[in-house]
A and B are shown apart, each in its own frame.
Chain A
Amino acid sequence: MHAPVVTTGRDLRLDLFRGIALWLIFLDHIPSNLVAWGTIRNYGFSDATEIFVFVSGYTAAFVYGKEMRERGFIIAGAHILRRAWQIYVAHVFLFAIYLAEISYVATSFENPLYAEEMNILDFLKQPDVTIVQALLLKFKPSNMDILPLYIILLLLFPPILWLLQFRSSLALGASVLLYVLTWHFNWNMPSYPSGHWYFNPFAWQLLFVFGAWCALGGAQRLSTVLQSPVTLSVAAAYLLFAFVISLTWYLPGMSQYVPHWLEEVIYPIDKVNLDVLRFAHFLALAVLTVRFVPRDWPFLKSWWAWPPIVCGQHSLEIFCLGVFLSFAAHFAMVEVSGAVWMQFLVSGLGIVAMIAVACLITWYKRAEGRSPGSRSRKTPDADLAGGEA
């Protein structure tokens, strides 16, 4: 069996939407941020995480799939594992910054109103346990859950990618099966101090593998389905339904219009295990996106689209920067003011910083590529695939 033909060239839509997803994740991660009202999680079931994981799967397959065909399983697999290591290092770095921030904010805080909330800091009393658990990826502060998921997904990716190249339907089927079994048997990875991973890798792998499957020819196979008016109207209707349901979360008066049996069916919408409703919501968004945002859309080449695209092209760096900036924004809100103008200010400045750093990285990479004696560029040039894997 032949490896499926892969479209070459750069799909700027991936960069664009990953860039936008990075912005939205940043905005959602700033606590108490009014600007986050504008992010998609408030208007439906899925949020920017789905976009990020899907696009990451897509680009990982695109970049490493090509390498696997050209240079073999071992080399491509080694590169994937190196990538996982880089992400692990980035995660530990962020954890150090997180500890610094909250230790500072917490010790300068004494308010009788929040005596109970101060229990949050109990983990600081046991740094020996906490830090080791963090290195084992079992202790994950809130907002630091996505990178550990990404690490696990990449660690498992070499054999999946191999299978996707030759028996793509089988690989996707296996992924769906794992998802179903996970739901059935409640599989998850343990967390510290209790509970399980906030993004269950056994469930979320479905979106990553689905993204990879789309990159390796699946999207083309689906194109007739994607273009059909029936699919389109079903997707639009579902998005509308999700929007109406999401309104009831914020306007309790509206919940009387939601019949009980429906509540029984849809709730809880489980983010941990990538609820089917969330997955479907992402698919519906993707269907409309593919339909209304053509690959050769002139806007993609315009100056307006450039800022999110350049962010999406350096996703790991910009993601980490976003997490760091969300800590910094929280710090500024605590130390200066938490007023609404400040929320808009830190949100705006954060996005500007993300764009600026993305430009700087682009410049570095270009300078490195040109300078004599720079390291070999034979390792996959992730930028070509619309971002790094």
Chain B
Amino acid sequence: MKTPVAATLAGLAVALLALGGTAVATDGQKCESPGYLLFGNNELKHVAEAVKKDRRLTIAVVGTGSSILAGPDGPRSAYPARLEAALKQRLPSVAVKVVTLVRTRMSAEDLARGMAKLLVDEKPDLVIWQTGTLDAIRRIEPEDFRAALDEGVETLHKGGADVILMNMQYSPRTDIMVALGPYADNMRVVAQQHEIPLFDRLAIMRHWSDTGAFDLYAAGKDNVLAQLVHDCIGRAIASMIIDAAHLEPVESKAGQ
């Protein structure tokens, strides 16, 4: 097995190099998202156009339970609101609006069906589509899952919106109970084929857990951890959007 061993070593070396490579400080927080996870080559052309021409940006977050937080602070501290705050801060001359369309216990197929209506109602420049968790829990056929993703992304593209796919949360306590792999793989493939960015929440949160930024094993009703994580996710998506649409942000003081 000489070759596989060599391949293994080489792969490990590359992976380590990448891990040690650029990390993007997402402001104030101790959470850093590695650039190799955040930045790809797929561009957000509509976003770039909307910002350049009209100085406005409408983003719709479509997703399920993990895009919201419960409690009175929930709406303010969930990542869509944090994303809006981060973008407003970094793009002060742009009118940024983030709307959240969350429906709990919905599969990708359920969400895909609502995309046409969403385009009419909100006229978003960008749709962040968070999905996969429920499909994995219900063990929906991965092929059907992929078909639903394809359909949803195509609908959005035809309607003139950019798309970012967002995959599942990294949840170390429950990850022995559900096989996320096939669903995460399919999301990556669909993102590659449609040339859209994938916000790899799974890998990014895993990175935060491995580097000790957050203890995601923690149990407790406390909302603090959830709010911090959502804040970091919001900031990370803001960085991804700014990079993929080639926008020129004003760096905040906190980020210096």
Chain A interface residues (CB < 8 Å from chain B): 31-32, 34, 37-38, 40, 42-44, 101-102, 105-106, 108-122, 141-143, 191, 193-196, 198, 236, 239-240, 243, 246-247, 249-253, 255-256, 258, 260, 263-264, 267-269, 271-272, 285, 288-289, 292-293, 326-327, 330, 333-334, 337-340
- List B residues 161-198 near A (Cβ within 8 Å): 169-179, 182, 185-186, 188-189, 192-193, 198
> Which of B4, B64, B66, B193 is A40 in contact with, Cβ under 8 Å?
B4
Say whether A116 contacts B66, CB under 8 Å: yes
Residue of A nearest to B63 (CB): A116
Least Cβ distance of B63 to chain A in Å?
A: 9
Q: Are B179 and A268 in contact (CB under 8 A)?
A: no
Give bound CA distance, A121 to B217, whole Å.
Answer: 17
A242's closest neighbor in chain B, by CB?
A: B7
Interface stretch (choices B52-60, B92-100, B133-141): B133-141
A253 to B178, CA, bound (A): 28
In the complex, are the beta carbons of A285 and B4 less than 8 A apart?
yes
Given contacts A38-B12, A114-B174, 10 further A-B contacts (CB under 8 A): A119-B133, A120-B177, A243-B11, A252-B36, A255-B40, A255-B41, A263-B192, A330-B176, A338-B172, A338-B217
In the complex, which residues of chain A have a beta carbon less than 8 angstroms from the beta carbon of B66? 114-117
Is B105's beta carbon under 8 Å from chain A?
yes
Contact A247 B14 (CB under 8 A): yes
| B residues at A contact (CB < 8 Å) | 1-4, 7-8, 10-12, 14-15, 18, 36-37, 39-41, 64-66, 69-71, 104-105, 133-134, 137-143, 146, 169-179, 182, 185-186, 188-189, 192-193, 198, 200, 206, 209-210, 212, 215-223, 225-226, 229-230
Complex contact A195–B140 (CB within 8 A): yes
Contact A196 B141 (CB under 8 A): yes
Residue ID in chain A nearest B38 by CB atoms = A252
Q: Chain B: which residue is nearest A267 at the CB level?
A: B189
B116 shortest CB reach to chain A, Å: 25
Closest approach, in angstroms, between the C-beta of A259 and any C-beta of chain B?
Answer: 11
Q: Which of B4, B41, B176, B188 has the most CB of A within 10 A?
A: B176
Question: Would you mind naming 22 contact pairs between A and B with Cβ atoms under 8 Å apart?
Answer: A34-B210, A106-B177, A112-B71, A113-B230, A116-B64, A116-B169, A117-B133, A119-B134, A120-B174, A193-B138, A247-B14, A249-B185, A250-B15, A251-B14, A252-B39, A255-B192, A268-B142, A285-B1, A285-B4, A288-B3, A292-B2, A334-B172
CB distance from B255 to the nearest CB of A (A): 23
Q: How far is the CB of A129 from chain B (nearest CB, A)?
A: 15
Contacting residues, chain B, for A250 (C-beta < 8 A): 15, 18
Chain A nearest CB from B84 CB (Å) reads 20
B7 to chain A, nearest CB (A): 5
Give Cα distance in the complex from A268 to B144, angstroms: 12
Residue among A40, A115, A119, A253 with the highest chain B CB neighbour number at 10 A: A119
Closest to A42 in B: B11
Q: How far is the CA of A110 from the CA of B222 in the complex (A)?
A: 9
Contact A44 to B7, CB < 8 A, known contacts A34-B210, A110-B221, A194-B139 = yes
Quick one: which of B179, B210, B221 contacts A198, CB cutoff 8 A? Answer: B179
Chain B: CB-nearest residue to A258: B192
Shortest beta-carbon distance from B105 to chain A in Å? 7
How far apart are the CA atoms of A268 and B10 in the complex, in Å? Answer: 25
Among candidates A268, A289, A292, residue contacting B186 with C-beta atoms closer than 8 Å: A268
**What residues on A are CB-neighbors of B226 within 8 Å?**
111-113
* Interface contact A141-B177, CB-CB below 8 Å: yes
CA distance A112 to B73 in the complex (A): 12
Q: Are A247 and B173 in contact (CB under 8 A)?
A: no
- Closest Cβ of chain A to B17, distance in Å, is 10
Nearest first, the 4 A-B pairs at minimum CB distance are: A116-B65, A113-B226, A142-B179, A31-B175
Nearest CB of B to A114, in Å: 5
| B14 engages A289 (CB within 8 Å) | no
| Complex alpha-carbon distance, A142 and B176, angstroms | 7
A195 contacts which chain B residues (CB < 8 A)?
Answer: 139-141
Measured in the bound complex, the distance between the Cα atoms of B222 and A122 in whole Å is 23
Q: Which single member of A34, A122, A263, A272 contacts B189 (CB below 8 Å)?
A: A263
A288→B4 CA distance, assembly (Å)? 9
Q: Are B12 and A114 in contact (CB under 8 A)?
A: no
A214 nearest CB across to chain B (Å): 18
- Is A338 within 8 A of B188, CB to CB? no
